[in-house]
Structure 1
Amino acid sequence: MRGPLRPFLQDPALGLSAALMLLFGSYAATMAPYTSALAVTVFGLSERAYSLVLVVASTVAVSSSVGLGILADQRANRRGIALFSGAMLALGQGLILSTGAPWAFVLASALILPLSGSIFGQLFALSRLAASTRPEAERPAIQATLRAVFALPWVVVLPIWSVVFQGGASLMIVYPVGLALALGFLGLSWLFWPRDGATRWPDPKSGLSFRQSLREIGHPAVLARVLALGPVHGSVMLYMVVLGLVFTATPGRGAQDVALYAGLLGGVEVPFMLALPRIIGRLPRQGMIVAGMVLYAIHLAGLPLLAETPFVWALILPGAMGGAVILTQPMAYLQDLMGTRPGAGASLMALQKLAGDAICAGTFALGTWIAGYELAALMGAGLAVAGAVALWAMDRRADPLA
């Protein structure tokens, strides 16, 4: 691992992006697998009501992420945006923890926490800018390694939660830990995020008005590709939603199995992500996305079908192999569409997330209404494979920027 990690150890800005991504990954590993179960079993929301929360949250997240991404390119004020996002993350966690009320969960989950949605994209924007000072051959590996850093905490954090829940702890215990991680992110950003206008790399203002930036992002050729990648992201979100509900509803399984499964999957993903730079450039990125999505679809569709059996653990391998690709390559693809504007690239990642979250919410609501978690997972897997194939077909016919 010293090879992929060497740039992060040598460059302070890359080291900061990795440290913040590690904290954010720990936060996601603490909260994401349990949010759906908390919504339904602790705060008393129906499955349809939680689907509505997901839709509202996605709308707020993408609106803020696109707006903040455009502002970051217009004004080159990335530090201020990072601090705002970290503050919203801490505020949302603190509200739920201090009240423990269903209204606080809905308010924080639908409106406050989504305002921190630009964190992920802004960290990749920071690493992309910092990597611009390094040899060009290193840059794809830096982006893939940073995504692996996000997955790394799942190897450690989730097995710990498995032991904690096996000891009888309440699901609500995740909130004080989530708040501590959010405050850590905010503090580290305040202390070490490079001051705007004083970076080692060039970060010129885009020179585009807000309307011009929106027009660029909304170009039909760009939007078509973002929408094609939406179900790919949605399959990951659907996995997070289905995992907690399926395992807590399966006799003989519970929260400890959720933590163990997600932790093992994240742990196996990491070495595959670190190995990706060896094949990037040798294979077409779109073909890699299709192959990765097929593997991940096997994992997603099989999860509710095999949950009662020991064979469910065998799904971790195709899930990890596919996840290593679909969690890294679509982001790099979208960033490349926007060229030298990393904020706009982060906005495209947010649009992909909106499309994915909306598809996830709709698929979850429709599938569970008709036939349960099995149909929801199968529908999500099928849509994701179709989206990956559509992207491959579009890029066979035309230049993505044409």
Structure 2
Amino acid sequence: MTTLAVLRDPTLRLIAWALLFLGALNASVYPYQSLVGIERIGLSEPAFALILALASAVSVTASVLLGILSDQKANRRRIALFTAASGTAGVGLMLVAPSPLTFLLCHGLLFPVASSLYGQLFALARLARADDGAARDAILSTIRSAMSLSFLAMLIVWTFAFGAGVGVMAVYLSGTAAAVALTTLLALKWPRDGQTAWQDQPSGLNFTRALAEIANPPILIRLLLLGAIASAGNLYMILTSLVFEASPTRDAGTTALYIGLVAGWEVPFMLLLPLITHRFRRATLIGLGTALYVTHLALMPILTESAWLWALPLLAGLGGAAILTLPIAYYQDLLAGRPGTAGAMLALQRLAAELLAAAAFATGSILGGSYATIALTGSAIALIGAALLCWLDRARA
């Protein structure tokens, strides 16, 4: 029913297609940027690390500032086109003139600016559909599945392409194609500012007041707790290749297959999630999803040599469906009437998750040094975050 609602609504259909292209763009660029930067472009590891740090700072700053600006001025179309064009320029430059400077411009500046489009798309969804509670959760989980689907499909395409001998720089071909398609789609179909079927009133808040709204303790605390939950996903991406590389029976092919299975299970569970969103509070579902996800994270280093390893992606997909999609509507309710700022909260959550995942890795290394200890440390951080979030929301209710 929800899938049909998305397909029938022109704005939701636009967002689903945009997320499909955005997923293809991300899958073309992100998984291979270290190989491109260090092995093909010739950057040193410290220089590459500095570019990643710059990219993280630019991504968060752009998401927050552009999100606030879109609420201030209600000029969402122009901002969306600007961010999409930034991504197109970045990957296009890497396609035609790869160099260390081009890599810096693309991966350090232009592509991180383009990543803010993710939150802007969900801000548009909030404006286009005023559904509350479970209905909105169902719609958002459905359109979010489009991004996971294209991400998985593109990973499969490049796995076979590399196996056939295609060079890694060819990823910018699919990246540029996806970016051009995305920008063209937004230029043709994004509703024009001031001519929408819904009211989009400027917030009237200056940047100081808007930032103070984010820093309000009830909002900031929940942001950090959701960041703690999301850090389990970041730690999983860090540990997977390390765990299988250290195994005497696993290899890089196992890593690719495992990650592909996790992403593959996320898609159907995102589509099935609407069947239960009306029965439980959002925080409860996030907590249950966290418990399932960290079970996969904690057991992965333990079951590496066992056939039971291949049952873990099922848990990861089921848990990941909840912790990837439900925070979107959660932030929209926290910042009611500020859809652009609520979308920017996803970037702030990502930053918090990256920092907490790094802290979990360092703490686990100090405590035991094994990957199992690191995974358990990260699992504990995510579970504490989920428990506190459920407690806060229960107290509020």
Q: Is this a same-fold pair by TM over 0.5?
A: yes
Greater alpha carbon shift after TM alignment, 344-353 vs 160-169? 160-169
Q: How many residues align?
A: 396
Task: Tell me the CA shift for residue 252 of structure 1.
Answer: 6.7
Matched, 1:178 2:175: yes
Task: Tell me the CA shift for residue 83 of structure 1.
Answer: 0.9
1:117-173, Cα deviation, whole Å (9 max, x unpaired)? 2111111111111112x6987433211111112212244332222222333333333
Matched, 1:88 2:86: yes
2:329 equivalent among 324, 329, 332: 332
The one-letter code matched in structure 2 to 1:313 is W
> Cα distance 1:51–1:240, how it changes in 2: closer, same or farther (>3 A)?
farther
Please give the residue correspondences for 1:162-311 in structure 2 after superposition, counting only pairs within 5 Å.
162-244=159-241, 256-307=253-304, 310-311=307-308
Gaps of 5+ in 1: none
Gaps of 5+ in 2: none
Quote the residue 2:319 is aligned against: 322
For residues 41 and 357 of structure 2, the distance between their equivalents in structure 1, rounded to whole angstroms, comes to 21
Greater alpha carbon shift after TM alignment, 329-338 vs 373-382? 373-382
Matched, 1:160 2:157: yes
Quote the residue 1:352 is aligned against: 349
State the secondary structure of the residue aligned to 1:169.
coil
Task: Tell me the CA shift for residue 20 of structure 1.
Answer: 0.3
Task: Tell me the CA shift for residue 361 of structure 1.
Answer: 4.2
> Cα distance 1:104–1:258, how it changes in 2: closer, same or farther (>3 A)?
farther
> Cα distance 1:397–1:154, how it changes in 2: closer, same or farther (>3 A)?
same
Consecutive aligned runs of 4 or more in structure 1 exceeding 6 Å deviation: 44-49, 134-137
Percent identity over the alignment is 44
Quote the residue 1:389 is aligned against: 387
> Cα distance 1:92–1:235, how it changes in 2: closer, same or farther (>3 A)?
farther
> Cα distance 1:323–1:137, how it changes in 2: closer, same or farther (>3 A)?
closer
For residues 110 and 366 of structure 1, the distance between their equivalents in structure 2, rounded to whole angstroms, comes to 28
Matched, 1:380 2:378: yes
Quote the residue 1:114 is aligned against: 112
1:244-294, Cα deviation, whole Å (9 max, x unpaired)? 555567667665544433332222112211121121131122121122112
Task: Tell me the CA shift for residue 302 of structure 1.
Answer: 3.6
For residues 225 and 57 of structure 2, the distance between their equivalents in structure 1, rounded to whole angstroms, comes to 18
> Cα distance 1:51–1:393, how it changes in 2: closer, same or farther (>3 A)?
farther
State the secondary structure of the residue aligned to 1:327.
helix
> Cα distance 1:294–1:43, how it changes in 2: closer, same or farther (>3 A)?
farther
For residues 35 and 357 of structure 1, the distance between their equivalents in structure 2, rounded to whole angstroms, comes to 17
For residues 244 and 191 of structure 2, the distance between their equivalents in structure 1, rounded to whole angstroms, comes to 43
Residues 134 and 278 of structure 2 are in contact (CA less than 8 Å); yes or no, is this contact kept in structure 1?
Answer: no
For residues 236 and 387 of structure 2, the distance between their equivalents in structure 1, rounded to whole angstroms, comes to 20
RMSD (Å), alpha carbons: 2.9
TM-score w.r.t. the length of structure 2 is 0.88
Quote the residue 2:24 is aligned against: 26
Task: Tell me the CA shift for residue 190 of structure 1.
Answer: 1.1
Residues 33 and 241 of structure 1 are in contact (CA less than 8 Å); yes or no, is this contact kept in structure 2?
Answer: no
1:227-250, Cα deviation, whole Å (9 max, x unpaired)? 111122232233334445555676
Residues 93 and 106 of structure 2 are in contact (CA less than 8 Å); yes or no, is this contact kept in structure 1?
Answer: yes
Greater alpha carbon shift after TM alignment, 31-40 vs 77-86? 31-40
Task: Tell me the CA shift for residue 308 of structure 1.
Answer: 5.5
For residues 216 and 121 of structure 2, the distance between their equivalents in structure 1, rounded to whole angstroms, comes to 25
TM-score w.r.t. the length of structure 1 is 0.87
Quote the residue 1:151 is aligned against: 148
> Cα distance 1:379–1:48, how it changes in 2: closer, same or farther (>3 A)?
farther
For residues 143 and 165 of structure 2, the distance between their equivalents in structure 1, rounded to whole angstroms, comes to 35
1:59 equivalent among 47, 57, 60: 57
Quote the residue 2:9 is aligned against: 11
Greater alpha carbon shift after TM alignment, 353-362 vs 113-122? 353-362
Greater alpha carbon shift after TM alignment, 217-226 vs 136-145? 136-145
